[in-house]
Amino acid sequence: MSKRLSRTVLGVAVLSLVTLGLPATASAGQHAKAERTVTDVVPAPVDAKPDPRASFRLSPATVIRTDREGKQVAEYLAGLLRPATGYRLPVVSGHRGGGPAISLETGHASGRVGSEGYQLKVSPSGVTLKANTDEGLFLGVQTLRQLFPSEIESKTVKKRSWVVSGGSVLDYPRFGYRSAMLDVARHFFTPDQVKLYIDQIAQYKINNLHLHLTDDQGWRIEIKSWPKLATVGGQTAVGGAPGGYYTQEQYKDLVRYAASRHITIVPEIDMPGHTNAAQHSYAELNCDGKAVPPRTDIEVGYSSLCIGKDITYKFVDDVIRELSAITPGKYINIGGDEAHSTSPEDYQTFATKVHPIVAKYGKTITGWHDIAKTNPPVSAVPQFWGTTGTDANVAAAAARGNKILMSPANKAYLDMKYHAQTPLGLSWAGLIEVKTGYDWDPATHLQGVTEKNVIGVEAPLWSETLITSDHIEFMAFPRLPGYAEIGWSPKDSRTWDAYRLRLAKQSPRWVQQGIDFYRSTQVDWK
């Protein structure tokens, strides 16, 4: 064959490989080595068996098969895979028909995986994801997406092979309640910024988002019977930053968006302290009948609702009624922290009057662990935010049967600096580098609080010092996946030495997602 002709033939061969999405160097038969295996997933699954020979190559012909209950998740999965691959990836109903497929099936998974678990199998002929509910399918999809090369997270087409690492996974969570908190009161974050954070936490199987909606510096939710809460109380923010608030329509849209990621919104109305914005908005909420001036500093503990006035409880009733009507989730968070300007007797009086109001609107109380001392209903969930290993009131509540949500400030507060020079964040609870945030266990952290007393974990992100989404990302990543693992993975499979290697392999995905993460020196980032 002439030199020129052979070059042409070779050229055509290379061209055909590239159009097939294969790297020109790999031969058609050889599967490019997958970048990761099922044992790299974060949070670590219960049981992951890699089989690199069983990898699956996504192709333009691949379809996504599902049954009726799996349709929403199937469309969500297609939405994840289409941008980077450029493949059509049609969602088809029913599991008949040949051809390469990713199959999502509900109702046929092992009883062992419960309602949130799943079974995933990747083989050369296709991918099968089984779960007993669509929530389980959604959580299985978060694992599946991590088996693709990190460029799958790109929003633009990448010309490359899409090899899904082979093997099988059987998985289900240790704790049912895995949460993140975003403080939208100190600084306001738009609905789109909240949705971005929802997508970022959903990829690590977080299933609750606690929104800290009200505080001294701002009130962020429209209450139609008390309009000035938002129109006046929503105008301010820390440091004179622009305020803002969610209309009830915008809040309902956030609830819907979160639900489409199988995340429940838990709204917090912080009371009886942290109420300056409300008391600046309505003079009658103050004991002396005079509206207090707005506050944009970051001091805490100076405000208190007027416990002795009847109108205070009409205010609470109206707020909880309206909020409950637009919150399908089980919980309303009534705050309760740092009520340093409310006497212990008044704090108890307030609690005794407010607990029945929450119950009247069909909701269950959660709140900072300060509420434990008020003997709340046994269904209430005190959220531990202390920095010590003992708290008598929390242990007593646990003994009474209250489940505890664990978010110790010296382990889980995402607004704590990584180190003394971290430009953002605070340090009152201590510095929290990645290892510090990971190396603790919610079932042994507090005396008198064991596995059966713990409902789950939460990573609160307070926003005194945060203004942009980049700020949120810098403080949440890389620590947030660690709390997700603490909430999801079996306790005895969790070691820092193994986790830090898996965490490192997550970073190329964050680069593709544009997440501005802190490059801790404790991890050898990929």
Minimum distance of ligand IFG from residue 426's CB (angstroms): 5
**Residue 188 Cβ, how far from ligand IFG at the closest point, in Å?**
15
Rounded to 10 degrees, the C-alpha dihedral 450/451/454/457 comes to 110
Site for ligand IFG in 392-451 (CB under 6 A): 413, 415, 426
Strands (E), 441-520: 454-461
Is 385 one of the binding residues for ligand IFG (CB under 6 A)? Answer: yes
Q: Does 462 bind ligand IFG (CB under 6 A)?
A: yes
Residue whose CB is less far from ligand IFG, 385 or 477: 385
Beta strands in 324-462 (DSSP E): 331-335, 364-368, 381-384, 404-406, 454-461
In 3D, which of 156, 126, 182 has the Cα closest to residue 464? 182
Please give, one letter per residue, the 3-state secondary structure of 64-97. Answer: EEECHHHHHHHHHHHHHHHHHHCCCCCEEECCCC
Rounded to an integer, what distance in angstroms lies between the CA atom of residue 65 and that of residue 97? 10
Check: CB of residue 421 under 8 Å from CB of residue 472.
no
Residue indicated by tokens 């299933």: 207
Pattern of binders to ligand IFG over 272-311, x per CB under 6 A? ----------------------------x-----------
Place of tokens 């909240």: 194
Q: Which tokens go with 122?
A: 């990747």
Please, what is the minimum distance in Å from the beta carbon of residue 285 to ligand IFG? 20
- Give whichever of 217 and 402 is closer to ligand IFG, judged by the CB atom: 217
37/304 with CB nearer ligand IFG: 304
Residue 117's contacts (CB-CB under 8 Å, 6 or more residues apart) are: 46, 109, 131, 132, 136, 139, 170, 171, 172, 173
Should residue 337 be labelled a site residue for ligand IFG when binding is judged by CB under 6 A? Answer: yes
What is the closest distance, in whole angstroms, from the C-beta atom of residue 303 to ligand IFG in the complex? 11
Nearer to ligand IFG, 202 or 414 (CB): 414
Q: Report whether 494 contacts 406 (CB < 8 A).
A: no
69 noted as active-site residue: no
* Residue nearer to ligand IFG on the CB measure, 222 or 458: 458
Confirm or reject binding of residue 384 to ligand IFG (CB under 6 A): no
Q: Does the footprint of ligand IFG cover residue 338 (CB under 6 A)?
A: yes
Total residues contacting ligand IFG (rule CB under 6 A)? 9
- Residue 203: how many CB atoms within 10 A of its CB? 23
Asked if 483 is part of the footprint of ligand IFG (rule: CB under 6 A), the reply reads: no
Question: What residues numbered 4-23 form the site for ligand IFG, per CB under 6 A?
Answer: none
By DSSP bridging, strand 126-131 and strand 118-123 are antiparallel
**Interaction between residue 87 and ligand IFG (CB under 6 A):** no
Among all chains, which residue has been given the structure tokens 């819907």? 256
Location of structure tokens 């009161």: 185
- Closer Cβ to ligand IFG, 166 or 367, answer by number: 367
CA distance 179 to 123: 33
**Tokens for 90?**
């049609």
> Per CB under 6 A, which of residues 179..238 are in contact with ligand IFG?
none
Q: What is the nearest approach in angstroms of ligand IFG to the Cβ of residue 385?
A: 5
Judge contact between 464 and 238, C-beta under 8 A.
Answer: yes
- Structure tokens given for 204: 């690590």
Compare residues 167 and 367 and give the one whose CB is closer to ligand IFG.
367
| Shortest distance in whole angstroms from residue 478 CB to ligand IFG | 19
User: To the nearest whole angstrom, how small is the minimum distance from the Cβ of residue 407 to ligand IFG?
Assistant: 9
Among 368, 418, 477, 488, binds ligand IFG (CB under 6 A): 368
Helix (H, G, I), strand (E, B) or coil at 157: coil
Question: Taking the complex as a whole, how short is the minimal distance between the CB of residue 293 and ligand IFG, in angstroms?
Answer: 19
- Min dist CB 259 to ligand IFG, Å, is 26
For residue 324, count other CB atoms closer than 10 A to its CB.
Answer: 18
Q: In terms of CB distance, is 235 or 465 closer to ligand IFG?
A: 465
Whether the CB-CB separation of 499 and 493 falls below 8 Å is answered with no
Whole-number Å distance between alpha carbons of 229 and 218: 9
Find how far residue 502's CA is from the centre of its chain.
19
Name the catalytic one among 338, 451, 464, 473: 338
Where on the chain is the footprint of ligand IFG (CB under 6 A)? 300, 337-338, 368, 385, 413, 415, 426, 462
> Which residues are designated catalytic?
338
